[in-house]
Amino acid sequence: MAARPELLAPPEIFYDQSEARKYTSSSRIIDIQAKLSERALELLALPDDGVPRLLLDIGCGSGLSGETLSESGHQWIGLDISEAMLDVAVEREVDGDLLHADMGQGLGFRPGVIDGAISISAVQWLCNADKSSHEPRLRLKAFFGSLYRSLARGARAVLQLYPQNIAQRELIFNYAMRAGFGGGVVVDYPHSTKSRKEYLVLNCGPPSLSAAVPNAKGEDGMSCSDDEENHTVTVSDRNRPRKKRKLDKTNGGKDWVIQKKEQMRRKGAAVPADTKYTARKRKSRF
């Protein structure tokens, strides 16, 4: 089994000129990318009114997924960290506007200007610390927070990803919820090792009543509804988590300090390890 690309090198290094051209010239990859993009656009559930939308393609690469957006009549902006991939996209004369950017540092768009966003096989890269300055939790926080601000209220983001394990899946999902998104995960072909695909479907604010989310796809390629005996995993509704009750400071002491430090760790802050000296009371010098 081939090693996962994100474990081999940072994306801007892994996708060099050679890899970018090889990736874009493979008929197999082109076909897979087109199917993933079509499914992401379907899950985006844009209104069928013939009005072109301004969409964001996060991790656009050489523009393969953007072509699906163009064919559907939409305008799009693509961003990617790999200059080599973007160079190939320019050579291919894709219709979208291209930005060289690191999504882990946040998206620099004005609030509410994007009508929808897709991402194909990119978000899991944020879970790797490729540099000493990288902290996955802080990068996920910056990404999802800026994505939420960029989207118009009621808009949706569909992120297709390959989480390495359950912990990574939960980490990504939790930071999306912390940013304010509602939504859940759609898993197509969940019982197939080869065909299984995961899509994080996120709603920015209250979703439109007409924006029904398609069901997940089963082994026969047909959509499955909740009343079928062996239905696949569908979107699980999640709301913005309630604010946690503030810690009681009246008692103070070691228990309160440990709880506070644990709270800061969950937010991604650097906190000293707990020791026997934690919260000890120092004698007065006077």
Q: What is the pLDDT of residues 141-181, one digit of tens each?
A: 999 999 999 999 999 999 999 988 898 999 999 999 999 99
Other CB atoms closer than 10 Å to residue 173's CB: what's the count? 19
Residues of the chain with CATH 3.40.50.150: 5-203
3.30.70.420, 3.40.50.150, 3.40.50.2300, 3.30.300.210: which CATH number matches 5-203? 3.40.50.150
Beta strands in the chain, from DSSP E residues, in sequence order: 54-58, 75-80, 97-100, 114-120, 151-161, 182-188, 197-203
Report the pLDDT value the prediction gives residue 236, as an integer from 0 to 100. 44
Q: Which residues pair with 199 in a beta bridge?
A: 160, 186
| Residues of the chain under the 50 pLDDT cut | 1, 209-210, 225-241
Report the pLDDT value the prediction gives residue 285, as an integer from 0 to 100. 59
Are 161 and 176 a contacting pair, CB within 8 Å? no
For residue 198, give the H/E element and its range. Answer: strand 197-203
Select from 140, 191, 179, 178 the least CA-distant residue to 161: 140
The CA-CA-CA angle for residues 77, 202, 264, to 5°, reads 105
Span 186-227, pLDDT tens digits: 999 888 888 899 999 999 986 554 455 556 776 555 555 443
Other CB atoms closer than 10 Å to residue 146's CB: what's the count? 18
pTM of the entire structure? 0.73
Report the pLDDT value the prediction gives residue 286, as an integer from 0 to 100. 52
